[in-house]
Amino acid sequence: MMPADTDTGTGPVTGIDSDTVTVTDPDTGHKTGEGARPLLPCPAMDNLLLRLPEILSQLIAFALAISVHESAHAWMADRHGDPTARMLGRITLNPIKHVDPIGTVLFPLMLAAVGAPVFGWAKPVPVVSRNLKNLRRGWAWVAVAGPASNLALAAAAVAVLLACKFTLPGFRPLLVSLLQTGAAGTSGIAAPLVYLLFSLALVNLVLAVFNMIPIPPADGSKLVMALLPGPLAFQYAQLERWGFVIFIALLWIGAFGWIFRPFVTGLVWILLT
């Protein structure tokens, strides 16, 4: 359960909820900032040019996230007997090797431009099932490797941010300022680094959660298929032809916001409390 009010170390109290940052005057009890900004690393600013630093930070974080994600798939497939992805050069942190024109370029740019969290997808890693030593176990490990690598990268970024929290004076008000006004609206030498680390943590967290949604062709569906009995797995796999339509429908009705909100709120709560 999230605390209603959390000491930011600046005198006033910053109340954290899933949507806004509010500041309460300890003498008058007056709250300011209610409904002002979502707790996301993509604040809505009038001038897109002013938001370029934060957009670039998010895109850098996203490029690293997908590179780690796809490399993990390729590495795990190779470990379980299929060298196809390795031979195609997919075990690399070079994002160009993993680019999908829509999922890696167009979609993230559109999300960044409208102030939404950046996420998307990369070119799928080819896995030849007959090469796997154990079909079910191999597919299960390959599917889990991508999201697990993103969670590990997110945890590493959070660990660095927590180190900054306890060693960097003014970290909490700096992070609140970044969440409210963005990288362009916050001064200080540490601001770009803190924003990049937060973007790295958030993008990797969102990407891991997104990929574990059990709708084909997401990684979560591959894990489900590896665990289901043969006939049920075959029937479940038929959903893949409708997978893109289902994802667009979920995006249209705002379902991803419901899915991601607890994770985003939890991340911010960990860093500000």
**Per-residue pLDDT band at 69 (split at 50, 70, 90):** very high
Q: What is the mean pLDDT of the chain?
A: 81
Cα dist from 246 to 163, 211, 258, whole Å: 40, 14, 16
Residue 29 covered by a domain? no
Residues 6+ apart with CB under 8 A from 58: 41, 42, 108, 112, 117, 118, 199, 203
The total of other beta-carbon atoms located within 10 Å of residue 214's CB is: 14
Higher pLDDT, 26 or 223: 223
Residue 193 covered by a domain? yes
Say if residue 203's pLDDT is above 50: yes
- Of 28-32, 108-112, 226-230, the range with the lowest mean pLDDT is 28-32
Q: Which residues are catalytic?
A: 70
Is the full-model pTM beyond 0.85? no
Structural domain total, the chain: 1
**Per-residue pLDDT band at 8 (split at 50, 70, 90):** very low
**Per-residue pLDDT band at 251 (split at 50, 70, 90):** confident
Cα dist from 189 to 55, 183, 230, whole Å: 18, 11, 56
Handedness of CA 198, 202, 203, 204 (dihedral sign): positive
Angle ∠(148,152,156) on CA atoms, nearest 5? 170
Distance between CA atoms of residues 269 and 196, nearest Å: 18
Q: pLDDT for 131-174, tens place per residue?
A: 999 999 999 999 999 999 999 999 999 999 999 999 988 899 98
Report residue 259 as tokens. 């899915």
Residue 170 covered by a domain? yes
Residue 244 covered by a domain? yes
Q: What is the pLDDT of residue 73?
A: 97
Report residue 269 as tokens. 């709560």
Residue 136 covered by a domain? yes
Domain extent, residue 202, equals: 40-272
Residue 26 covered by a domain? no
Residue 33 covered by a domain? no
Residue 256 covered by a domain? yes
Say if residue 197's pLDDT is above 50: yes
